[in-house]
């Protein structure tokens, strides 16, 4: 979990202090480093106030940390622990942007690269920082004849390492550990059925 958090922050700081806002580096035809910022939503979306999103994310982190500690104590599968750890680490990575970046960086603009400043001398206050996004995969453009999607880029979202961690963790839980999302009553029912089958076989 710590490694995901550290890698995310290293990438974000490197991009923010070396690229102008909206600057793009074409690594390949289908992969660009494209620097944008948003107020906190994943994949470059921007719908709500930064402070609201920051508070929501902090509450979510507390809840997920509680769940993580609980499943570790109860010795749940290591894969489930790893997936939930990815979600927590990703959420923590983005909340640092919200809470701290406005305090320690100058404003990123299309003409000027941001620089690090003393605490409190940045472009915003606590919980008003913008999340840094940079990964862009324009895999292909839909043909014009395709209804609704014609002319648009397939997967045109721009995201960061933390977003990827959250997404991978969530998908992993849904695909491989969805049974643990079912209530304890359902799991108790399965357990009772297994005990009944065992008892019947014993007869």
> Which amino acids are annotated catalytic?
133, 163
Q: How far apart are CA 154 and CA 173, in angstroms?
A: 25
Within 10 angstroms of residue 193's Cβ, the number of other Cβ atoms is 10
Q: Tokens for 35, please give them.
A: 């620097």
Q: Residues near 80 by Cβ (< 8 Å), separated by ≥ 6?
A: 71, 173, 176, 177, 180
Angle subtended by helix axes 2-16 and 78-96, to nearest 10: 30
Phi-psi region of 44 (alpha: psi -120 to 50; beta: other; left: phi over 0): left
Exposure class string for 35-60: b at 16+ Cβ within 10 A, else e: bbbbbbbbbbeeeeebeebbeebbee
The answer to whether residues 168 and 86 touch, using CB atoms and an 8 Å cutoff, is: yes
Q: Strand 31-38's sheet: what is its strand order?
A: 24-28, 31-38, 131-136, 158-159
């Amino acid at each position: 979990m710590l490694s995901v958090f550290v890698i995310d922050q290293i990438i974000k700081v490197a991009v923010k202090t070396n690229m102008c806002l909206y600057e793009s580096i074409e690594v390949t035809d289908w992969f660009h480093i494209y620097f944008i910022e948003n107020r906190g939503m994943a994949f470059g979306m921007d719908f709500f106030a930064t402070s609201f999103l920051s508070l929501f994310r902090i509450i979510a982190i507390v809840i997920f940390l509680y769940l993580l500690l609980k499943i570790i104590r109860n010795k749940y599968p290591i894969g489930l622990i790893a997936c939930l750890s990815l979600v927590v680490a990703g959420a923590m990575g983005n909340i640092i942007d919200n809470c701290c970046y406005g305090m320690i960086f100058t404003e990123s603009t299309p003409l000027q690269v941001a620089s690090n400043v003393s605490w409190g001398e940045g472009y915003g206050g606590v919980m008003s920082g913008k999340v840094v996004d940079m990964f862009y995969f324009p895999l292909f453009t839909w043909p014009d004849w395709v209804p609704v999607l014609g002319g648009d880029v397939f997967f045109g979202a721009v995201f960061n390492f933390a977003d990827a961690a959250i997404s991978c963790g969530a998908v992993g839980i849904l695909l491989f550990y969805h049974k643990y999302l079912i209530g304890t009553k359902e799991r108790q029912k399965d357990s009772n059925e297994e005990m009944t089958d065992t008892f019947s076989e014993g007869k």
